[in-house]
Amino acid sequence: MKLILPYGKETITLEIPEKNLLGVLKPNPPKTKEKIDIENLKLTLRCFLKDGKNILVIVNDYTRPTPTAEIISMIEPEIKNFNFRFIVACGSHRGPMPDELVQIFGKYTELYKNKILIHDAKDNTKLKFLGKTRRGIPVWLNQAVWEADKIIAINSVEPHYFAGFTGGRKSFLPGVSGLETITANHKLSLQPQAKTLALEGNPVNEDMIEIAQMVPRDIFSIQVVIDPAPISKRPDKGITDFGAKSKEPENRCGASDKHQIYSIRYGDIFDTLKVASEDAKKIFCVPIKEKADIAVALIQEPYDINFYQSQKGMENAKLALKDKGIMITASHCRKGIGDDEFIRAIAGTKTAKEVLSKINKEFKLGHHKSAKLVETMMWAEIWTVMPIDDKIIESVFMKPFHNLNVALAKALEKKGKDAKIIILLDASLTVPLVQQ
């Protein structure tokens, strides 16, 4: 059978024996959307801002699918009469390029260009020390936090592979934290309790919560859960390096033109995350009857920006994969590798155990991704279809391909004619869960 799958701004055609396909997974379309009372949001925010003067609005960066501009349009009438500024919570990521700034702010990019700050975790001159957490992690936050008397934090909430979920407290850590703080927190991701969907008992989440509790300002949280519409219905173009064209597609798997808001939770930063994370489970957690021998992970925008961000989709794909299975990850990696520290931690080593030993002794930011990758490689194979140099892919114990159909055919050849395949249409936002 032939499947026509949306992939970035194009489509990709896969040829799969029907008997081998367990399913094509994507986030769940909501049966009904949560009622969004914009007027009540504005009224609640108005009460929060009473007696405020200087307002700081923290927004996600370009690596999240947050509908920031849409939320700004809702709250702009309430903040425009105050002295307000936005800060892009980049965490340890680089600052946004001009096109990425438009991706975040839309029509407000030009209108408020003089009110937009870009957080730089490495610029110590813009950081202020807040103290230490119970685990001894030093807390450095952007000084803009102190220059405001009221803070609005806009997030989207999705499952996260070591924080449990994005959203809420992540506006502060890693969002506007210093590099030392982010590094110390992310080292906690090496602990087994730091995993997808886990909040209780997760050391990464617990430290994030503690740091948010230390913020010496009132916080109004706006947490958005988006529906599963990250990929468009597009004409069958095919992709030159990633798949073959098809004139007569048998099955077309697609979605609507853009993300829609499923729910908005607002108010206390901690209470809203609890409710929003339950909303997110309804959308992003997809039941499966059994795991597959081969899991194909398609990485969609914005997570296909680079190899570094694409790794999040691999973390989800492994949940659908049997022991000794093969994961095939396809990503456009539009801007290359990204932060390459996670690659340098693996390159030059001979075994996965050697990598983990090295990371435990000399942890650097980015090594949390290295650790998660090699942990998977200890029980499965990872193959890639990415425009990344083959030597780089091979240096991190992965097998490179340049055509997804070729990779899939080779995987079937290796796993046998009866091997089962699961395709994650949007791997970064799909959490497969085996039904009990």
What is the DSSP track for 152-210?
EEEEE--EETTTEE-SGGGGTTTTTB-HHHHHHHHHGGGSTT--TT--TT-HHHHHHHH
Q: How far apart are CA 300 and CA 291, in angstroms?
A: 22
Q: What is the pLDDT of residue 239?
A: 31
pLDDT for residue 406 is more than 60: yes
pLDDT band of residue 232 (cuts 50, 70, 90) is very low
Q: How far apart are CA 151 and CA 217, in angstroms?
A: 7
| pLDDT per residue as tens digits for the range 47-68 | 999 999 999 999 999 988 899 9
Which residues, 6+ apart, have CB-to-CB distance to 227 below 8 Å?
27, 29, 30, 33, 259, 260, 261, 262, 283
Range 83-96 average pLDDT: 95
Q: What is the pLDDT of residue 251?
A: 52
Q: How far apart are CA 118 and CA 94, in angstroms?
A: 9
Q: How far apart are CA 363 and CA 371, in angstroms?
A: 10
Q: Is 224 helix (H, G, I), strand (E, B) or coil?
A: strand
Q: How far apart are CA 415 and CA 381, in angstroms?
A: 11
Q: How far apart are CA 277 and CA 374, in angstroms?
A: 28
Q: Residue 300 gets which letter from DSSP? A: P
Q: What is the pLDDT of residue 229?
A: 56
Domain locations in the chain? Answer: 2-26+237-255+289-434, 38-226
Sole residue written with tokens 């592979």:
161
Task: Kindly list the strands in the beta sheet with 218-226, ordered across the sheet, starting from the edge strand earlier in the chain.
Answer: 116-118, 83-89, 54-60, 150-156, 218-226, 261-267
Sign of CA dihedral 252, 65, 273, 190: positive
pLDDT averaged over the chain? 90
CB neighbours of residue 135 within 10 Å = 12
Range 104-110 average pLDDT: 96
pLDDT band of residue 254 (cuts 50, 70, 90) is very low
Pairing of the two strands 127-132 and 138-142: antiparallel
pLDDT for residue 351 is more than 80: yes
Between 335 and 235, name the one with better pLDDT.
335
Question: For 25-29, 232-236, 278-282, which range has the lowest pLDDT when averaged over its residues?
Answer: 232-236
| pLDDT per residue as tens digits for the range 294-334 | 999 999 998 999 998 999 999 999 999 999 999 999 999 99
Q: Per residue in 342-380, is it b (16+ CB within 10 Å) or e — as a string?
A: bbebbbebeebeebbebbeeebebbbbbbbbbbbbbeeb
Q: Which CATH number fits domain 2-26+237-255+289-434: 3.40.640.10, 3.40.50.150, 3.40.395.10, 3.90.226.30?
A: 3.90.226.30
Q: How far apart are CA 6 and CA 13, in angstroms?
A: 9
Range 100-128 average pLDDT: 96
Which residues, 6+ apart, have CB-to-CB distance to 73 below 8 Å?
none
Q: Which CATH homologous superfamily contains domain 38-226? A: LarA, N-terminal domain (3.40.50.11440)
Q: What is the pLDDT of residue 6?
A: 87
Q: Is 148 within 8 Å of 56 (Cβ atoms)?
A: yes
Q: What is the pLDDT of residue 244?
A: 34
- Give me the percent of the chain exceeding a pLDDT of 70: 92
pLDDT for residue 371 is more than 70: yes
Q: What is the pLDDT of residue 52?
A: 94
| pLDDT per residue as tens digits for the range 158-211 | 999 999 999 999 999 999 999 999 999 999 999 999 999 999 999 999 999 999
pLDDT for residue 407 is more than 70: yes
Task: Kindly list the strands in the beta sheet with 421-424, ordered across the sheet, starting from the edge strand earlier in the chain.
Answer: 21-25, 421-424, 292-298, 321-330, 381-385, 399-401
Q: What is the pLDDT of residue 197?
A: 96
Alpha helices in 27-84 (DSSP H): 38-49, 68-79
